[in-house]
Amino acid sequence: MTDSLILALALVLVLEGILPFAVPGLWRRTMGRLAMMSNKQVRIVGFVSMMVGLLIALILL
């Protein structure tokens, strides 16, 4: 179980690093827009992201 969690964390880090590595300008603009959003909007984006990830995980399991 621990190995699976570490592998999942490693994959998240790889995926999170793709955009800043491949298109740093786009990544900076996106982060700038995110910084200007209200807390409510950021929470909504985070919630939707979590639900999509959960749905994908449930489909794959």
Domain residue extents for the chain: 2-60
Cα–Cα distance between 18 and 23 in angstroms, integer? 8
Give me the pLDDT at residue 46, please: 94
The confidence score (pLDDT) of residue 36 equals: 95
Q: Cα 46 vs. chain centroid, distance in angstroms?
A: 8
The end-to-end CA distance of the chain, in Å, is 15
State mean pLDDT over 42-52.
95
* Side chain identity at residue 55, one-letter code: L
Q: What's the pLDDT score for residue 1? A: 81
Distance CA 61, CA 43 (A): 27
Mean pLDDT of the chain: 93
pTM: 0.71
Q: What is the mean pLDDT of residues 20-25?
A: 96
If you search the block for the tokens 């999509």, which residue do you land on?
52
